[in-house]
Structure 1
Amino acid sequence: MQLESSSAACLFNNEENPPAICQVCVVVPVRNEAGSLYQTLEALRRQTDQQQQPLDPASYEVLVLVNNSTDHSFQIASEYARDFPAFRLIVENIHLPAHQAHIGTVRRLLMDRAYTRLMRSNNLNGIIASTDGDTIVDHQWVHHIIAEIACGNDAVGGRILTRKKAGSARLYHLRDVTYRCLLSQAESILDPQVHNPFPCHFQYFGANMAVTCKMYEQAGRLPILPFLEDAAFHKALLHQDARIRKSFKVKVYTSARTNGRVSVGFSEQLKKWKEDQKNGQAQLVEAVAPLLVMFNARSRLRRCWYEYHQNQIILYKEIDELAHSLQVQPAGLQNSLIRATLFGELWESVVLLVQSDVNYTVRFQPIQQAIMQLRMFVKNPGLTVSETNPDGMSFPLD
């Protein structure tokens, strides 16, 4: 998708390149955030290291792009930059045409400019970090992002915590977080990854994510989508076998508003939970048993892929068993394994193959039941899935 605004190409081009010691370029999309933007910038300016010492202001910079705002957001950010000249804050304002005025366009513009600026400074190991204008980053946010990337990771997803209670949807939200964190723990048991050991979580979203310049380019850059652009980028990273660390240390605090900027997102989910609670609707989530089966299958398939691409050994028996478990043809699974140069590419094709079956359906269950099953499993991973599955269906793990 080509951006039509002539001013888009000039964004952040009039500023001097970041210094050679600049490791991180933080991007902040802003629209009508006058009520929270000052606090957002304060948190970004007051970054410290693990010893509580202020970070070198030259070690990171912040790009703020105010877009299609009708409040004083641009004035607030501009005045902040003037008040704190040592803080590397660059502010731009843009008005996009209606069909482009969405978060996907703005975050892509920002991340592209961050990439360009770091590349102009010959910072091949530079980091693009993303947050939002209604979000307060932790005081060691930049430090922990740098540390996680220094461990050999290509990308970092941090925890996004709500700054204030989500009203009547609070219980639904906490249940959802519990379910997803337990699911991440089960995933780390069944398909452990060296770069993302437990404790880890489930989030890689625009309010708290980072990626190296090298991987940003390799993954095809952020997709320009009106919503869920971050989820699509996460999928692209997985396709490239990116080492993604889901770190609890990298945390931010965001608003729990229900008047969101997009039709799909956290604010809309909160709104739906409020309506569900009001109407007495049960909170449903994707069923645990099939998900555990898929985690286990992915781990076994990863071993098969590695044996073939590293040692030219085809594990025929294992592939046959996997094909039976996934209800796909063994020959097709073997051919996909041989053709795929990246495991992420292979797994994506297998998931699509499984979901293309005419009998495939996504099963749901009450969230309290799902949480109970997951707690049983993580306490005793030796249980088969069928032992944690109350409806009597058998999903053996081995």
Structure 2
Amino acid sequence: SCEYRCVGRVRGLGIRHAITQGATWIACTDADTVVTTDWLLQQIAHITQQSTDMICGVVSIDDWTNLSPQTRHDYVAHYQDKMGHRHIHGANLSFSSRAYLAVGGFSLLPCHEDVDLVKKFETQGYAITWSNRVRVITSSRVNGRVNDGFAAFLSNLEQSNL
């Protein structure tokens, strides 16, 4: 338990605790997100089929009723739900603990700590799998805890359609 107001610091604290308990693979999601029943199995399949240090998965929206049809259309037109996509979501990010520690872990950032971590993996030459088989369902809320997270992205998209 902690009272940090910095998502990078909170994620880092939890992950380092898991690693001290022996975790070798870390799978991250968010409190307003539900993982699919095969979420971990799909990760294991990627790990065993190819050498990978990180998996960036995709998100599906749980409920579009609080957003306009145009926002849904714009989102679907923008989002690349395919293998090789380049979307980064802290709600669907997994990696080896060895590589995580080697790159220095999550930076102490209030937002985009996930993007920063992926850039560290890329810069240091770690293998990243961009998978649409590793999937989560996330909230369509437009009021988030951070200013530039996924909720803000949806909110900005909705505002541009009003």
Shift of 1:204: 2.7
Could you say what secondary structure the match of 1:107 adopts? Answer: helix
Question: 1:142 aligns to what?
Answer: 40
Could you say what secondary structure the match of 1:257 adopts? Answer: coil
Question: 2:74 aligns to what?
Answer: 172
Matched, 1:105 2:28: no
Question: 2:144 aligns to what?
Answer: 260
Percent of paired sites with the same residue: 30
User: Of the candidates 138, 149, 157, which is equivalent to residue 56 of structure 2?
Assistant: 157
Question: 2:87 aligns to what?
Answer: 203
Q: How does 1:26-45 map to 2 (within 5 A)?
A: none
What one-letter code is carried by the residue in structure 2 that aligns with 1:139? Answer: T
Q: How does 1:196-235 map to 2 (within 5 A)?
A: 199-235=83-119
Shift of 1:247: 1.0
Cα distance between partner residues in 1 of 2:33 and 2:52: 24
Q: Deviations over 1:24-80 (max 9, x none)?
A: xxxxxxxxxxxxxxxxxxxxxxxxxxxxxxxxxxxxxxxxxxxxxxxxxxxxxxxxx
Q: How does 1:72-87 map to 2 (within 5 A)?
A: none
Aligned-pair Cα RMSD in Å? 1.7
Asked if the contact 1:128/1:213 (under 8 Å) is kept, the reply is yes
Q: How does 1:230-241 map to 2 (within 5 A)?
A: 230-241=114-125
List structure 1 runs of 4+ shifted beyond 2 angstroms: none
Could you say what secondary structure the match of 1:152 adopts? Answer: coil
Cα distance between partner residues in 1 of 2:136 and 2:74: 20
Cα distance between partner residues in 1 of 2:150 and 2:98: 29
Q: Which has the larger radius of gyration?
A: 1
Cα distance between partner residues in 2 of 1:149 and 1:203: 19
What one-letter code is carried by the residue in structure 2 that aligns with 1:224? Answer: L
How many residues end up aligned between the 2 structures?
158
Asked if the contact 2:142/2:154 (under 8 Å) is kept, the reply is yes
What one-letter code is carried by the residue in structure 2 that aligns with 1:140? Answer: D
What one-letter code is carried by the residue in structure 1 that aligns with 2:74? Answer: Y
Shift of 1:118: 1.5
What one-letter code is carried by the residue in structure 2 that aligns with 1:144? Answer: Q
What one-letter code is carried by the residue in structure 2 that aligns with 1:159? Answer: V
Higher relative contact order, chain-length normalized (CA < 8 Å, sep 6+): 2
Q: How does 1:320-331 map to 2 (within 5 A)?
A: none
Could you say what secondary structure the match of 2:141 adopts? Answer: coil
Asked if the contact 1:218/1:240 (under 8 Å) is kept, the reply is no
Shift of 1:148: 1.1
Could you say what secondary structure the match of 2:22 adopts? Answer: helix
Q: Deviations over 1:187-234 (max 9, x none)?
A: xxxxxxxxxxx8322223210011111111111111110000000001
Q: Deviations over 1:322-380 (max 9, x none)?
A: xxxxxxxxxxxxxxxxxxxxxxxxxxxxxxxxxxxxxxxxxxxxxxxxxxxxxxxxxxx
Shift of 1:145: 1.0
Could you say what secondary structure the match of 1:164 adopts? Answer: coil
Cα distance between partner residues in 2 of 1:133 and 1:199: 25
Cα distance between partner residues in 1 of 2:142 and 2:150: 8
Larger helix proportion, structure 1 or 2?
1
Cα distance between partner residues in 2 of 1:199 and 1:172: 20
Question: 2:130 aligns to what?
Answer: 246
Matched, 1:276 2:160: yes
What one-letter code is carried by the residue in structure 2 that aligns with 1:167? Answer: L
TM-score, normalised to structure 1, is 0.38
Question: 2:26 aligns to what?
Answer: 128
Q: Deviations over 1:243-283 (max 9, x none)?
A: 000111110000010011100011111111121111xxxxx
What one-letter code is carried by the residue in structure 2 that aligns with 1:238? Answer: E
Cα distance between partner residues in 2 of 1:261 and 1:176: 24
Question: 2:18 aligns to what?
Answer: 114
* Structure 2 unaligned residues grouped into runs of 5+: none
What one-letter code is carried by the residue in structure 2 that aligns with 1:211? Answer: F
